[in-house]
Amino acid sequence: MVLVQMGLRILKSNKDDELAWWVDSGATNHVCKDLRWFQVCKSIEDGSFVKMGNIATEPIKGIGRVLLTFTSGKTLCLDNVLYVPGIRKNLVSEIVLNKCGYQQVLESDKYILSIHGSFVGFGYVCN
C-alpha cells in the first residue's frame, strides 16, 4: 500500500491520519471517509455499498469531486469519489488513475505520479 504525499507535510507517521490518502491497486473507485474533502458531493440514498477486502460492507452516502494538492503545487482532481464515512482510510484507485491516463511508478519505496510525461506528485511505500 502507498501513502501519498499531500498538503504541507509527508503523511508517513500516522497511517490513520485524517489527511492521509492511500493509493490502492485493488480499489475500483476512489473512496473518501470525510465530507470536508469534497468540493461537490451529491447525496446517495439508494442502498449502494462498497465491499472491502475483508468482505465487510459500508454504505455509500454520496459521490462527488475531491481536489488533492501535492507539496509540488500540482493538483489531482478526483471525480466520482464515493463518500463512505465508515471506511478507515481515504483511497485513491490505481485502476481509475490508469484509465484517466496517469502513469504510476514504484521505485526504491517511492511512488511517482505523472500524466503525459509531466510530474504530478510523489509519495512513499508503507505497509
Catalytic residues: 24
How many of the other CB atoms lie within 10 Å of CB of 89? 16
Q: Which residue has the cell 517511492?
A: 110
Question: Closest Cα to residue 21, out of 41, 6, 38?
Answer: 6
Rounded Cα gap, residues 4 and 18, in angstroms: 13
Q: Which three cell numbers stand for residue 23?
A: 493509493
Q: Give the distance from CA 69 to its chain's centroid.
A: 12
